[in-house]
Structure 1
């Protein structure tokens, strides 16, 4: 976005792996955090490994099966802009075991949690960056727990229409969340899901 990195492309690691957006969390020590992941009941699927001189990288799963990544920055710090149109601004965990997920992520990363029966929110030092949805019977059994990234846009309705015109699809039509922002959930032509929300300050 301009000169600032906001996301990356990577090849699929396995033949049967679906096309998807992955969420990477910055850590000071990828090896130590990978050990914490395993001690807290998660699983390390790849790494820790060096990515040239850019950083150290891990692919992991939480106890419920949601995939995420760890990034220990070296030459590449990661995303350079947040919560601006075209950039990541929010992440959302969809899980069938919210109690276990909350314990796992607070143990591994030291996150704060803003409690709510409908939508607990994760934060770093109480600065919220994500939320958690419990996958109930309305979610098909074959849909696994996962992290869903949300990108900021100027206009959610226009973004949804643009995605449809570009051979994507709208999974959740533009909706105004009570006391929240306008959001939508979209899918690209290869099947990768992502959310969009009205950027801070956008009209």
Structure 2
């Protein structure tokens, strides 16, 4: 089991979470789909639930809450990138042309976070760990295995994330219009162009599964939608899907390394 036991290097995707209109329905859906365990958390943290797989944290699910006078936020998965200084990251986001959506806040003693949009419009989070560094299981069925930025301007996006978090983008050999995003010389995610016209820039979360087709079938039976049916590609057999509340994510059975 690929367990993570130490904080992620700055710039590395370290956590994903979902803000859902019906939190309990989301908890039930992902429990049945991926085998997660999770329940509504303490009120002082807005009921935010830490979902676990085999007893280890893999993702968060919280209730969608709109600030007073603001529209209800969309139901989406958010990718968080690790940092060792959230305040410096916020300043770097602004300087590099990004937009701060939620400024730095303390989350109890677990860490400090902010949410921002890059200059192309993709929303992401930044996490500075204190007592909690993020996902403790990855690259395992039911856990996150890849994070991918879809953008209308790959060059601008690459420059932004390098300026803010030191992430280096490099074209991926043999794959058209695709770059890896690297931290410390290691690929930690992907960067590509938005495929469908009208699709807004976004970060896409990939969850590993042991059988893509059967997971997609189960998702449909539980009220989810299929946006891209299962297909084979260089990294494995994948599909892009939508949960019953509209959150988009990918599932993939990775090619054995």
For the 8 Å contact 2:194–2:200, the answer to whether it is kept is no
- Alignment equivalent of 1:3, drawn from 55, 80, 103: 55
Structure 1 position 125 matched with structure 2 position 177: no
- Alignment equivalent of 1:53, drawn from 99, 109, 114: 109
Q: CA deviation at 1:200?
A: 5.7
Q: CA deviation at 1:11?
A: 2.6
Uncovered stretches (5+) of structure 1, i.e. residues with no partner: none
Deviation above 3 Å: which 4+ runs of structure 1? 199-202
For the 8 Å contact 1:120–1:132, the answer to whether it is kept is yes
| 2-structure distance, mates of 1:180, 1:50 | 37
Structure 1 position 192 matched with structure 2 position 244: no
SS at structure 2 position matched to 1:65: coil
| Counterpart for residue 100 of structure 1 | 156
Uncovered stretches (5+) of structure 2, i.e. residues with no partner: 1-52
Please identify, of 4-13 and 92-101, the stretch whose mean Cα deviation from structure 2 is larger: 4-13
SS at structure 2 position matched to 1:17: coil
- Spell out, residue by residue over 1:33-87, the C-alpha distance to the aligned partner (whole angstroms, 9 max, x if none): 1111111110111120101111101011100111000111111121101100100
| Counterpart for residue 9 of structure 2 | none
TM-score w.r.t. length of structure 2? 0.73
For the 8 Å contact 2:158–2:168, the answer to whether it is kept is no
Q: 5 Å matches for 1:70-89? A: 70-89=126-145
SS at structure 1 position matched to 2:77: coil
| 1-structure distance, mates of 2:185, 2:252 | 21
Please identify, of 109-118 and 124-133, the stretch whose mean Cα deviation from structure 2 is larger: 109-118
Q: CA deviation at 1:191?
A: 0.1
For the 8 Å contact 1:85–1:199, the answer to whether it is kept is no
- Spell out, residue by residue over 1:91-112, the C-alpha distance to the aligned partner (whole angstroms, 9 max, x if none): 1111111110011011111112
For the 8 Å contact 2:235–2:255, the answer to whether it is kept is no
Across the aligned residues of Structure 1 and Structure 2, the Cα RMSD in angstroms comes to: 1.5
Q: How many residues align?
A: 198
For the 8 Å contact 2:237–2:254, the answer to whether it is kept is no
| Counterpart for residue 172 of structure 1 | 228
SS at structure 2 position matched to 1:94: strand
SS at structure 2 position matched to 1:25: strand
For the 8 Å contact 2:230–2:238, the answer to whether it is kept is yes
- Alignment equivalent of 1:63, drawn from 119, 132, 137: 119
| 1-structure distance, mates of 2:168, 2:237 | 25
Q: CA deviation at 1:199?
A: 3.9
Q: 5 Å matches for 1:30-45? A: 30-45=86-101
TM-score w.r.t. length of structure 1? 0.92
Structure 1 position 161 matched with structure 2 position 217: yes
